[in-house]
Structure 1
Amino acid sequence: MMRIAGMAGNRGRNLLNIADRAPNGVEFSVVLTDNESAPVLTEAAERGIPTEVVERSGEDESRDSHEERILARLAGYDIDLVCLDGYMRVLTNTFLDSAPLTLNVHPSLLPSFKGMDAWGDALAAGVTVTGCTVHVVTEEVDGGPIVTQEPVPVYEDDTAADLKDRVLYDGEFVAYPRAVRAVAEGRVTVDDGTVHIDGDESGAFPARWIETGDRTASLRYGENPHQDAALYADTTCTEASVVHADQLNEGAKALSYNNYNDADGALNLIKEFEEPAAAVIKHTNPAGCATAETLADAYEDALATDPQSAFGGIVALNRECDATTAERIIDSFKEIVVATGYTDAALDVLRSKENLRVLDVGDAYDQTETLVEKPLVGGRLVQERDRQQLTRDALEFVTEREPTDEQIETMLFAWSVTKHVKSNAIVFAAETETVGIGMGQVSRVDAVRLAGLKADEHADGKSAAGAVMASDAFFPFPDGIETAAEHGIEAVIQPGGSVNDEDVIAAADELGMAMAFTGQRCFKHE
C-alpha cells in the first residue's frame, strides 16, 4: 500500500478527494500545513488522518531551514509520495532531494498560464479550453515534468470563479487521483526530466477517453417531459447520421430527444443492406423491415409486418425517396422519414403532411464510426460497433435437413435485422421481409411467442407458415424451437453454443426443421 504525505496551505480539497477515493488503496500517513488555521486540518482529522503544522518561525528563517524542519517532522511517518495542494511556498532542492517523489496540481494546461491566476489569464486570453496539470515538483515553479492533464471547457459567460470551480471539480478531481493511481501501481518513472507512464497507450481503447461535442440544439424535453435535454454533435463524423441531417420541410416542429434516438436506430438498421431497403421503427425497435426490387415495395413489405405498431413510427430508406414511395408513406401517420435523398416530386408529397419531419442524411453510408459508448453512473462502457456481416460460408448446418438456397438468403436477411432488435430478440422472416418480431423479452421462448403473435394477429397479408426464425442468442432449451414450429417456422438461424445444443438440434430434426449455427451472437441491450 502506498502512503502519502499531503501538504496544503488552505482547504486542501484535492487531498481530501484523494483520501476519500483512495485510488489503488492509497492512504494518507499525514497532512501537513504551514498555516495553523488551515481548514484542511479539521477535515483531515475527521477522516482519521494525522496532521502536522510547521509554520515559518519569523521572516528571518530561511527556506532551507524551514524545509529541514518539515523534513524532520515528516521523518516520523512512513511516506512513499508527497502530494501538494495549494501549498503556497516554493520548495527547493533541500526538500525535494530528500523527500519522495513530489507532485503538484496546477489549474491550467501547462505550459500555458503559469502563476497565481491561471483562471483569469485563461479568460483574458480568450481560450475555449483550459484544464489542469499534475506535474512533478522541481525548483522551477510550474515547470516540472508533466504526469497527466485534464481538459476543461471555457464558456463565453464564465467568470473567474465559475472557471475555478469547473477546473477543480471537472479537472483536478479527475486528474490528481489518476496520477496518484498510476504512481501507486508502479507505472510512473521520471527519467531525465520526462515522465513515462506504462499503459498510457493509444489504440482502439486508449488509456484515457476524451469525448467532446458541440451543442447544436436545446430540445423541448428529454425522454419524458420532466427531463431537460440537448443535442451535442461530433463535428468530425463523416458517416450519414441524423445528427447532421438536413431537415427539408421548413416550419415543421423540431425533432425531439426520442425522435433522434428512434431515427438513429432506423438509419443504422437500413445501413445493413445493399438492396433497396425500408424499415419502420418504434422505440428504437423495428416494427418491420424489408428489401425489394423497388423502394416502394420494400416500404410496403416493411409496413405490412405490423401496421398497428408502425403507427406514428420512423421510416428509414436507403435510397433516394421517389414519389411512389412517398405516397405510400403518407397513407398512414408517421413522425419522420429518413432517406439518402428525395426527388422533387417526393418532397411535394411529403410536405403535404404538415408535421411529418423529412430528413436528408446524404449518401455517406459506409459505417466509419468504429466505437459506441453507453454512459453509466460513474463512468461509461465503450465497445466496438457491431459491424459484422454474416455470410453463407460462415454458417454451420447442424440438422439432418439442410436449408434451401432461398432459406439461406432469408436467414442472412433476418440475422441483419435481428442485430437491431432489443434482446431477447426473435425475428420471423419470409424471403427478404419480416413477418413477426419479438423484442425485449427476458425469456427467449416468450420472444418467440411474441413474434408468433405478431405474425398471426398483426401482420397484413403475411404468415409465419414456411418462414425462417432468427435468434440473437442460443436457445437454452428446445421449447423455443417447438413454439416456433407451432407457428409454421421451417428453418432457424441462431448462434448455437448452449450446453443443450444436442437437445435443441434433436427437436429441430424431429420437427423437420433446418437449422444453421452462426457461431456468434448479436445481443442489443439498449
Structure 2
Amino acid sequence: MIYKEVNMRALISVSDKTGIVEFAKELVLLGIEIISTGGTYNKLKEAGVAAIEISELTGFPECLDGRVKTLHPIVHAGLLAMRSKPDHMKQLKDLNIETIDMVVVNLYPFKATILKENVTREEAVENIDIGGPTMLRSAAKNYQDVTVIVDPDDYKEVLEQLKVKGEVSLDTKFYLMQKVFMHTSNYDTMIADYLKNQRNDHELPDTLTLTYEKVQDMRYGENPHQKAAFYREIGKKKGSITDAVQLNGKELSFNNINDTNGALELLKEFTEPTVVACKHGNPCGVGSADNILDAWTKAFEADKVSIYGGIVVINREVTLELAEEMKKVFLEVIVAPAYDKAALELLQTKKNVRVLELRDIDVPQEEHAYDLKKVNGGLIVQTIDSKLLIEEELKVVTDRKPTDKEMEDMLFAWRVVKFVKSNGIALAKDKQTVGIGPGQVNRVWSTKQCIEHAAELINEDATKGAVLASDAYFPFDDSVEAAHQAGITAIIQPGGSIRDEDSIKKCNEYGIAMVFTGMRHFKH
C-alpha cells in the first residue's frame, strides 16, 4: 500500500512500550519525522527505526539521571504554538523552533512501583514523572494542532486516519485531549493518595479527589434503564469483592456486587464458623456454630423463603456435604475462602450460580476507609463504621442481669443488627437469627415485623427465650411491650433516649434484662 506522505514531526517517549516499534515504523512510512528520548530512543534505534534524539533537537544534554530532558522551550514552544496565529508562527521562525505535531507519551510506572512488596518511599518518589505529564498537558492544550496519544490502544485509529486522510480529525484530537487529562488526573491522584498514606493522614481533606479503575461494564444498574460499571480502588484490597476470583457463573450484576459487599462486611464481624445469607442489601439469615455445615443449617432455617435467589457468604472452606445442601437452593452468589475440589465441581454443575473464591475473606476494611454517598450536587463522606462496641461501656441497666447465654446471643444479634437497614431490629437465639426487621419508619414496626416473620418462617415458639438487638435507642417503651409478648428475655440497645427510664421500667416489670452499649449503628 502506498501511503500519502504526511508532513509532521512526532515526539515519542513511553514507559509502556507495547506496540511502539510497529507504530513508529508506520509513522516513518508516512514520512513523519520521529524525535525520541532515553530508553524509547534506544529501542527504536535497535529496531532500525530512524529517530532523532531529544538532546540533538534541544542542543542540551539529558542530565540529573534523566530527570531533565524534555523540559525545554524548544519542545514546549513547538507544542504550544497555535498554527492559526501568525504571530505565534513568526516567533517560532525568529527563534528557529519547529513545530511538533504529535506527542506519544505514557508515564513512569508509579502504580506498578507502589504495588511492589516493600517498596521504599525514595523509589516511589523517583517514579513520579515530571516531563511526561508536562508534555502531555502542553500537547493536549493545543489539541487542535497536536495529536496526543497516551494509550497504545489508540495507535490503530490514529494510523488509519493518517493513511486515509493525511491527518487526524479534530473530533479524534478532542477525544484524545480528554483522555490525556483523565490520565494525568488519575496519575496525580494516585501520587496524592500515596503521600497521604505515607503521612498516616486520616483527616477528611478540604478537597477530595478520588481515582478508581474500571473492572467491567455492566448490562445495567439497579434497574434495566440505568447504565452501570464496576470500578475498584487502586491497589490490592484484601478481603474485598474486588479481590475475589470468580470460579463459575454469569457476570456479577450491579445488585450482586452491592449485596455481596454488605454480606461480606457482616461476615467479617465473626471468627467462628459462620454463614450469612443476604437479600436486597439486608441479612435474611445468619448462623454461627462449631462447624460450617451446622452454621449453614441455622442460616438457611432462619428464613427459607428470603434466601431464595440470595447471596450466601461463608468464612470456612466449602465441603462436599455443604455444597450438596446449597445445591438444593437457588442462590445467586456464593463466596467462600476455599472449596473442596468435589464441592466446587458439584456447584459448577449449576451454570448460572456465581461462585467466588475470596481467600482473605476475614480481612477487615481499613479503619479509616471512606464510606461515600452521592447526593444531588455533592457527596457526603464519612469513615466506615469499623467499631462494634466498647466493652467497658456495656452497661446493664435493669434489675436482672443477663445470663451468660443471653449475653452471648445479644452480642451475636448486635453484630447482625449493625448491618440491618435502619430502623433495624434483629432477634437471635442459640447464635441464629430468628427474625430481622429492616428499614421501617418507626422502631416498633420493625420489632413487630421480625416477631411476626419468626412465627411465620420458623415456628410460633421461635422468639421464646430469644434476645433482641436494636441499632438505635428506643424512643418509647412500645418495643419492650412487643418483645415481652413474644417471649423475648433480653434486649441490647445503645441507650441515650430522654425516655430511657420508661423502657427500663417496663423491662423490670417483665423481668427482661437490658444492656446499653453506648454506641449506635444507623445504616441508611
Question: After superposition, what is the alpha-carbon deviation per residue over 1:2-59, rounded to whole angstroms, capped at 9, x for unaligned?
Answer: xxxxxxxxxxxxxxxxxxxxxxxxxxxxxxxxxxxxxxxxxxxxxxxxxxxxxxxxxx
Please give the residue correspondences for 1:94-113 in structure 2 after superposition, counting only pairs within 5 Å: 111-112=134-135
Q: For the structure 1 residues 218 and 465, does the alpha-carbon distance in structure 2 shift closer, same or farther, using more than 3 Å as the test?
A: same
Q: For the structure 1 residues 366 and 168, does the alpha-carbon distance in structure 2 shift closer, same or farther, using more than 3 Å as the test?
A: closer
Answer whether contact 1:262 1:283 (CA < 8 A) is retained.
yes
2:266 aligns with 269
2:32 aligns with none
What amino acid maps onto 1:230 in structure 2? A
Q: For the structure 1 residues 517 and 253, does the alpha-carbon distance in structure 2 shift closer, same or farther, using more than 3 Å as the test?
A: same
2:181 corresponds to 1:161: no
- Residue 160 (structure 1) shift: 3.0
1:126 aligns with 150
What amino acid maps onto 2:422 in structure 1? S
Q: Return the match for 2:293 from 293, 296, 300.
A: 296
Q: Please state whether the residue corresponding to 1:489 is helix, strand or coil.
A: coil
2:321 corresponds to 1:310: no
Q: Please state whether the residue corresponding to 1:315 is helix, strand or coil.
A: strand
Q: For the structure 1 residues 402 and 123, does the alpha-carbon distance in structure 2 shift closer, same or farther, using more than 3 Å as the test?
A: farther
Q: Please state whether the residue corresponding to 1:321 is helix, strand or coil.
A: coil
Question: After superposition, what is the alpha-carbon deviation per residue over 1:376-416, rounded to whole angstroms, capped at 9, x for unaligned?
Answer: 22221111111113364431000011101111111111111
Q: For the structure 1 residues 167 and 275, does the alpha-carbon distance in structure 2 shift closer, same or farther, using more than 3 Å as the test?
A: same
Please give the residue correspondences for 1:376-391 in structure 2 after superposition, counting only pairs within 5 Å: 376-390=375-389
- Residue 168 (structure 1) shift: 9.8
What amino acid maps onto 2:251 in structure 1? A
Q: For the structure 1 residues 254 and 505, does the alpha-carbon distance in structure 2 shift closer, same or farther, using more than 3 Å as the test?
A: same
Answer whether contact 2:390 2:517 (CA < 8 A) is retained.
no
What amino acid maps onto 1:306 in structure 2? D
Answer whether contact 2:139 2:146 (CA < 8 A) is retained.
no
Answer whether contact 2:247 2:356 (CA < 8 A) is retained.
yes
Answer whether contact 1:306 1:460 (CA < 8 A) is retained.
no
Question: After superposition, what is the alpha-carbon deviation per residue over 1:419-438, rounded to whole angstroms, capped at 9, x for unaligned?
Answer: 11100000000121101000
Answer whether contact 1:304 1:462 (CA < 8 A) is retained.
no
- Residue 343 (structure 1) shift: 1.0
Q: Which moved more, 1:433-442 or 1:317-326?
A: 317-326
Q: For the structure 1 residues 333 and 364, does the alpha-carbon distance in structure 2 shift closer, same or farther, using more than 3 Å as the test?
A: closer
2:496 corresponds to 1:489: no
Q: Structure 1: which 5+ runs fail to align?
A: 1-85, 91-107, 129-156, 173-200
1:280 aligns with 277
Q: For the structure 1 residues 220 and 111, does the alpha-carbon distance in structure 2 shift closer, same or farther, using more than 3 Å as the test?
A: closer
1:80 aligns with none
Question: After superposition, what is the alpha-carbon deviation per residue over 1:116-163, rounded to whole angstroms, capped at 9, x for unaligned?
Answer: 8625398536279xxxxxxxxxxxxxxxxxxxxxxxxxxxx9833235
- Residue 357 (structure 1) shift: 1.0
Q: For the structure 1 residues 394 and 330, does the alpha-carbon distance in structure 2 shift closer, same or farther, using more than 3 Å as the test?
A: farther
Q: Please state whether the residue corresponding to 1:435 is helix, strand or coil.
A: strand
Q: For the structure 1 residues 341 and 116, does the alpha-carbon distance in structure 2 shift closer, same or farther, using more than 3 Å as the test?
A: closer
Answer whether contact 1:305 1:462 (CA < 8 A) is retained.
no
Q: Please state whether the residue corresponding to 2:342 is helix, strand or coil.
A: helix
2:371 aligns with 372
Answer whether contact 2:140 2:180 (CA < 8 A) is retained.
no
Q: For the structure 1 residues 227 and 116, does the alpha-carbon distance in structure 2 shift closer, same or farther, using more than 3 Å as the test?
A: closer
What amino acid maps onto 1:126 in structure 2? V
Q: Which moved more, 1:228-237 or 1:215-224?
A: 228-237
How far apart in 2 are the matches of 1:242 and 1:418?
A: 22
Q: For the structure 1 residues 398 and 318, does the alpha-carbon distance in structure 2 shift closer, same or farther, using more than 3 Å as the test?
A: same
- Residue 356 (structure 1) shift: 1.2
1:256 aligns with 253
How far apart in 1 are the matches of 2:454 and 2:406?
A: 18
Q: For the structure 1 residues 367 and 116, does the alpha-carbon distance in structure 2 shift closer, same or farther, using more than 3 Å as the test?
A: closer
What amino acid maps onto 2:336 in structure 1? A
2:342 corresponds to 1:319: no
What amino acid maps onto 1:161 in structure 2? F
- Residue 243 (structure 1) shift: 2.4
Q: Which has the higher helix share?
A: 2
2:489 corresponds to 1:476: no
How far apart in 2 are the matches of 1:303 and 1:461?
A: 18
What amino acid maps onto 2:174 in structure 1? A
Q: For the structure 1 residues 338 and 460, does the alpha-carbon distance in structure 2 shift closer, same or farther, using more than 3 Å as the test?
A: farther
How far apart in 2 are the matches of 1:350 and 1:113?
A: 50
How far apart in 2 are the matches of 1:294 and 1:158?
A: 62
1:242 aligns with 241
2:416 corresponds to 1:448: no
1:197 aligns with none
2:229 corresponds to 1:230: yes
What is the root-mean-square deviation of aligned Cα atoms in Å? 3.1
Q: For the structure 1 residues 263 and 477, does the alpha-carbon distance in structure 2 shift closer, same or farther, using more than 3 Å as the test?
A: same
Q: For the structure 1 residues 256 and 482, does the alpha-carbon distance in structure 2 shift closer, same or farther, using more than 3 Å as the test?
A: same
2:369 corresponds to 1:351: no
How many residues are paired up?
365
1:21 aligns with none
Q: For the structure 1 residues 377 and 167, does the alpha-carbon distance in structure 2 shift closer, same or farther, using more than 3 Å as the test?
A: farther
Q: For the structure 1 residues 279 and 461, does the alpha-carbon distance in structure 2 shift closer, same or farther, using more than 3 Å as the test?
A: farther
Answer whether contact 2:213 2:232 (CA < 8 A) is retained.
yes
What amino acid maps onto 1:276 in structure 2? P
Give the alignment's TM-score, normalised by structure 2. Answer: 0.64
Q: For the structure 1 residues 362 and 117, does the alpha-carbon distance in structure 2 shift closer, same or farther, using more than 3 Å as the test?
A: closer
How far apart in 1 are the matches of 2:461 and 2:229?
A: 41
Answer whether contact 1:390 1:412 (CA < 8 A) is retained.
no
Answer whether contact 2:148 2:177 (CA < 8 A) is retained.
no
Answer whether contact 1:470 1:493 (CA < 8 A) is retained.
yes
Q: For the structure 1 residues 295 and 262, does the alpha-carbon distance in structure 2 shift closer, same or farther, using more than 3 Å as the test?
A: same
- Residue 340 (structure 1) shift: 0.9
How far apart in 1 are the matches of 2:146 and 2:326?
A: 53
How far apart in 2 are the matches of 1:438 and 1:122?
A: 61
Q: Please state whether the residue corresponding to 2:407 is helix, strand or coil.
A: helix
What amino acid maps onto 1:358 in structure 2? V
What amino acid maps onto 1:256 in structure 2? S
2:416 aligns with 417
Question: After superposition, what is the alpha-carbon deviation per residue over 1:210-262, rounded to whole angstroms, capped at 9, x for unaligned?
Answer: 2111112111111011112111122314221222311112xx22111111111
What amino acid maps onto 2:492 in structure 1? I
Answer whether contact 1:307 1:460 (CA < 8 A) is retained.
no
What amino acid maps onto 1:203 in structure 2? H
What amino acid maps onto 1:162 in structure 2? Y
- Residue 371 (structure 1) shift: 2.0
- Residue 448 (structure 1) shift: 0.1
Answer whether contact 1:467 1:490 (CA < 8 A) is retained.
yes
Q: Which stretches of structure 1, 4 residues or longer, exceed 4 Å deviation after superposition?
A: 108-117, 163-172
Q: For the structure 1 residues 127 and 119, does the alpha-carbon distance in structure 2 shift closer, same or farther, using more than 3 Å as the test?
A: farther
Q: Which moved more, 1:405-414 or 1:157-166?
A: 157-166
Give the alignment's TM-score, normalised by structure 1. Answer: 0.64
1:55 aligns with none
